[in-house]
Amino acid sequence: MPDAVLTPGAVIVRGFPADLTNLIEEFVEQWNSDEVDTLALIAQFASDLSRVSHAQIIELTNRKLVLSADADDGPLGLPVEFPQEVGSIVELQAVLMDLLRRARESVGHSVPKTGLEREISRTRGLPTFVTRVLRTQSVSPLIREVTFRGGLETFVSIAPDQFVYVLAKRLGQESPIREGVTMAQLMAAPEADRPAAAYYTVRRHRPDAGELDLWFVLHEHSTGISGWAERAQPGDFVALWGPRSSFVQPEDATDLLLFGDETAFPAIAAILESSKRPARVVVETVDETHKIELSHRPNVTIDWVFRHATPAPQSTQLLDGVRRACEQWSSGTYAFGAAEATPIKALRRHLRQIGARPKDLKLVAYWNSKRTLNP
């Protein structure tokens, strides 16, 4: 199967509000990179069941997408109309999931499940852990570590970048988290009763003690999870749904390129602890006073870059740092990066332009300055 039929940046995105276009472009590039088998299944369905070996989104508007696909009888351009106009990432996700469902219904089960379908099946069975804050401590001026204990005896770690969906009471709300409650029950409640929720990486799991440490970036929005973490006190309840993960280091990777802003520090630190491979790390934070210890390994180089007063979405420090660390792509390198959506999009383009293939990269927009990516 070819790795990509598109040069990075070739996707046309039209018809969305200007403030959303960047985000939608990154969303499409992430699908073109990570969900190639799902796109091939949708293309197979849209092409009236020609066998499709590879498909990419080449155009997306608020009313349709166009797939470029390699089929048995040659390359295809496949327009797929949406049943209704889409105006947000959430609506786009819903339309794509509906297309996937219809594609699966029509091709049947002779075609193996796609990676996304396997992930959906896995998440259906995920447990909700109701636990309590044991203690909190400051990791840096912007990062607060919260340690949880209780109700975590059956928590099983799955990967170094493992993350959980944290559900906690909103500012001024009576806590909806109680023993035995599930994520599905919490999210099905009327909006006013729903907790704040967002994904967080597990920094450390100590199974013998039944404890988890999470690192929360404090970003001065009091209503969400960051606000909750800033106020968290021993004994406070939270629900954790998960764990899930997205970092799968290929067996034959010779070295790692890891980069990100503060939200990625727990994943980067845990990946460095779990791997012995040489690693180049580029990490962005505010200034010298925000640096933290990430690794002592001699085969790890860490380049700290500082955005100072520039807001994270506008900062090019991470991109410039990765450019310096990786002028040419070498086969064998595997890259993991997470940050705000704008730098992630620029970084994906840069790495693709210097020769990285989609399968060499796991880049995730962990947050965005316009609105939350979390459901």
Ligand X SMILES: Cc1cc2nc3c(=O)[nH]c(=O)nc-3n(C[C@H](O)[C@H](O)[C@H](O)COP(=O)(O)OP(=O)(O)OC[C@H]3O[C@@H](n4cnc5c(N)ncnc54)[C@H](O)[C@@H]3O)c2cc1C
> Interface with ligand X by CB under 6 A: which residues?
163, 196, 198-201, 215-217, 219, 221, 224-226, 263, 266, 366-369, 372, 374
Min dist. Cβ of residue 238 to ligand X (A): 12
Min dist. Cβ of residue 181 to ligand X (A): 19
Nearer to ligand X, 71 or 166 (CB): 166
Min dist. Cβ of residue 94 to ligand X (A): 18
Label the pairing between strands 64-71 and 12-13. unpaired
Nearer to ligand X, 95 or 196 (CB): 196
Please give the Cα distance from 48 to 76 (Å, whole number): 12
Supply the angle between the helices 36-46 and 18-34 in degrees, to the nearest 10.
100
Give DSSP secondary structure letters for 215-249: EEE--S-TTSHHHHHHH--TT-EEEEEEEE-----
Residue with the CB atom nearest ligand X in the bound state: 224
Min dist. Cβ of residue 158 to ligand X (A): 13
Backbone angles phi, psi at 215, to 5 degrees: -110, 120
Min dist. Cβ of residue 166 to ligand X (A): 8
Give DSSP secondary structure letters for 55-105: EEEEEE-SSEEEEEEEETTEEEEEEEE-SS---SHHHHHHHHHHHHHHHHH
Type and span of the H or E element at 183: helix 183-188
Nearer to ligand X, 140 or 226 (CB): 226
Comparing C-alpha atoms, which of 215, 201, 219 is closest to residue 165?
A: 201
Nearer to ligand X, 40 or 92 (CB): 92
Q: From the CB of residue 284, how many other CB atoms can be counted at a distance below 10 Å? A: 27
Nearer to ligand X, 155 or 367 (CB): 367
Per-residue burial over 75-102, b = 16 or more CB atoms within 10 Å of its CB, e = otherwise: ebebebebeeebeebeebeebbeebbee
Query: What size, in residues, is the chain?
Result: 375
How far is residue 123 from each of residues 15, 102, 184, measured CA to CA in Å? 32, 20, 12
Nearer to ligand X, 329 or 366 (CB): 366
Residue type, 138: S
Min dist. Cβ of residue 76 to ligand X (A): 33
Nearer to ligand X, 61 or 369 (CB): 369
Nearer to ligand X, 16 or 163 (CB): 163
Answer yes or no: are the C-beta atoms of 66 and 15 closer than 8 Å.
no
Min dist. Cβ of residue 241 to ligand X (A): 12
Min dist. Cβ of residue 93 to ligand X (A): 13
Min dist. Cβ of residue 359 to ligand X (A): 19
Please give the Cα distance from 32 to 96 (Å, whole number): 13
Nearer to ligand X, 42 or 361 (CB): 361
